[in-house]
């Protein structure tokens, strides 16, 4: 989950977006197939000997990856060349220790933001001793909700995953079929998680942990957001080495 700070709302919020990679997409594809074909005789994925690695690998992409093409699934960035990405469970654990006195944080449905081509569902995380957000509904584990949190995992059920739609799902054949005409400019879903960090505090990670979770990102669309600048990889690599001169591994690209 990459993140950034936003104090413009006056609520002292630290915003994070989901990072969905090939493994998560492959797992979602498996669950979709099992749900679509619940009959063991019809569903080859019910075989006990068939594991996740039997699904198409990155060289042979499955059908779901042809639909997950919106910016929510891309490795590019809108907010600069540097991205700190943490597992959600680690992020919430750090927040719990630093802001909740080791008590479980509270999750609420914060708001839905509608942009021209994006619908962003926002989940709020705050300390249990904060009551200023009590009017917002709790995030429940409901199978019909867009997103929920269960057993250390964030579950997102996107309804629109493509910015430009070029395929349709052929249910009986378990594959994606290319459309004769591409449907451009679809509205796509996104999810953000925002942490309440009151009194201008910050969420702390030690320098080594930050460097471990840092990668270089290419710009999604240069100039998309006013005031945001991007460096080339050589410049970014030099700057990162100045901050972490003894780190044993070179800067990686998020690709």
Tokens standing for 45?
Answer: 């994925």
Question: In the prediction, which pLDDT does 181 show?
Answer: 64
pLDDT surpassing 50 at residue 50? no
The partner residues of 165 in beta bridges, in order of sequence, read 183
Q: How confident is the model at residue 249 (pLDDT cuts 50, 70, 90)?
A: very high
Torsion of CA 8, 121, 130, 97, to 10 degrees: -100
Span 128-149, average pLDDT: 90
The span from the CA of 133 to the CA of 100, in Å, is 15
Pairwise pLDDT comparison (41 vs 218), residue with the higher score: 218
Question: In the prediction, which pLDDT does 57 show?
Answer: 47
> Which residues, 6+ apart, have CB-to-CB distance to 231 below 8 Å?
81, 239
Question: In the prediction, which pLDDT does 43 show?
Answer: 53
- Residues 18/1, Cβ–Cβ less than 8 Å: yes
pTM of the model: 0.79
Q: What is the pLDDT of residues 62-121, one digit of tens each?
A: 777 777 778 888 888 888 899 999 999 999 999 999 999 999 999 999 999 998 888 999
pLDDT surpassing 50 at residue 22? yes
Tokens standing for 220?
Answer: 């999604």
């Amino acid at each position: 989950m990459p993140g950034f700070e936003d104090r413009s709302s006056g609520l002292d919020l630290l915003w994070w977006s989901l990072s969905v990679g090939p493994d998560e997409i492959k797992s979602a594809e498996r669950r979709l197939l099992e749900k679509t074909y619940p009959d063991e005789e019809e569903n080859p994925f019910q075989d006990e000997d068939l594991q996740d690695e039997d699904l198409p690998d990155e060289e042979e992409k499955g059908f779901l990856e042809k639909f997950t093409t919106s910016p929510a699934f891309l490795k590019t960035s809108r907010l600069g060349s540097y991205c700190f990405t943490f597992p959600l469970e680690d992020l919430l654990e750090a927040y719990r220790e630093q802001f909740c006195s080791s008590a479980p944080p509270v999750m609420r449905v914060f708001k839905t933001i509608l942009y021209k081509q994006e619908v962003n569902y926002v989940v709020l995380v705050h300390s249990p001793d904060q009551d200023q957000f009590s009017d917002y509904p709790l995030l429940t584990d409901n199978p019909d909700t867009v997103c929920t949190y269960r057993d250390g995992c964030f579950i997102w059920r996107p309804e629109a995953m493509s910015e430009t739609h070029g395929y349709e799902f052929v249910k009986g054949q378990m594959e994606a079929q290319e459309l004769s005409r591409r449907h451009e400019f679809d509205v796509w879903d996104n999810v953000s998680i925002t942490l309440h960090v009151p009194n201008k505090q910050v969420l702390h990670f030690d320098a080594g942990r930050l460097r471990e979770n840092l990668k270089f990102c290419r710009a999604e669309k240069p100039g998309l957001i006013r005031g945001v600048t991007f460096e080339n990889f050589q410049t970014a690599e030099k700057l990162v080495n100045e901050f972490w001169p003894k780190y044993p591994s070179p800067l990686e690209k998020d690709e």
